[in-house]
């Protein structure tokens, strides 16, 4: 397996803590997983690409306001769905795990952290002990092989 969504779906289908047993809730989880990857991530990644790889290019400076507008529109839709809720579906699921991973791409900005709904949502998800363990494990090789300062 090589696609993050497919990998997470595979893991979640074997982990009751990440995928509810209720058929309707499972459908909502899958929908939010696809939304993270297909409705939110492309617009977020476009903005990230401009900011981190092309910020000094004239075309990027001209394109950035529209790219940010598109990303913000998608994020506002997400925030509306999350308003008054702790998670995308009743309890924390693989959909939240995937969505917060997408939101983390914007950590070079304050777009998410300053948002009254998305900032606390991201903080709650990232504060989960399992998330912290997984992030530490993921970053271990980067830390191990990072050049000395």
Please state the domain count of the chain: 1
Please report, for the domain that includes residue 133, its CATH number. 1.20.1050.10
| Range(s) of the domain holding residue 48 | 4-145
pLDDT for res 148: 80
- As a dihedral over the C-alpha atoms of residue 33, residue 39, residue 43, residue 44, rounded to 10 degrees, the angle is -20
pLDDT for res 11: 93
pLDDT for res 146: 87
pLDDT for res 101: 96
pLDDT for res 74: 98
Buried b / exposed e over 50-74, threshold 16 CB at 10 Å, is bbeeeeeeeeeeebbeebbeebeeb
Q: How far is CA 46 from CA 54, 75, 103, 113, 142, in A?
A: 11, 14, 13, 19, 24
Q: From first to last of its 149 residues, what are the pLDDT tens digits of the chain?
A: 899 999 999 999 999 999 999 999 999 999 999 999 999 999 999 999 999 999 999 999 999 999 999 999 999 999 999 999 999 998 999 999 999 999 999 999 999 999 999 999 999 999 999 999 999 999 998 988 988 87
pLDDT for res 38: 97
């Amino acid at each position: 397996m090589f696609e993050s969504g497919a990998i997470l779906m595979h893991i979640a289908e074997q982990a009751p803590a990440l995928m509810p047993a209720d058929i309707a809730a499972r459908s909502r989880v899958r929908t939010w997983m696809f939304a993270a990857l297909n409705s939110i991530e492309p617009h977020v990644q476009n903005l990230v690409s401009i900011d981190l790889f092309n910020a000094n290019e004239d075309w990027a400076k001209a394109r950035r306001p529209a790219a940010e507008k598109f990303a913000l529109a998608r994020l506002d839709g997400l925030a509306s769905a999350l308003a008054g809720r702790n998670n995308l579906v009743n309890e924390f699921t693989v959909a939240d795990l995937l969505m917060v991973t997408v939101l983390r791409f914007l950590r070079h900005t304050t777009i998410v952290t300053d948002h009254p709904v998305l900032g606390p949502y991201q903080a709650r998800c990232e504060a989960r002990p399992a998330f912290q363990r997984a992030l530490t494990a993921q970053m271990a090789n980067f830390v191990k092989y990072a050049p000395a300062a």
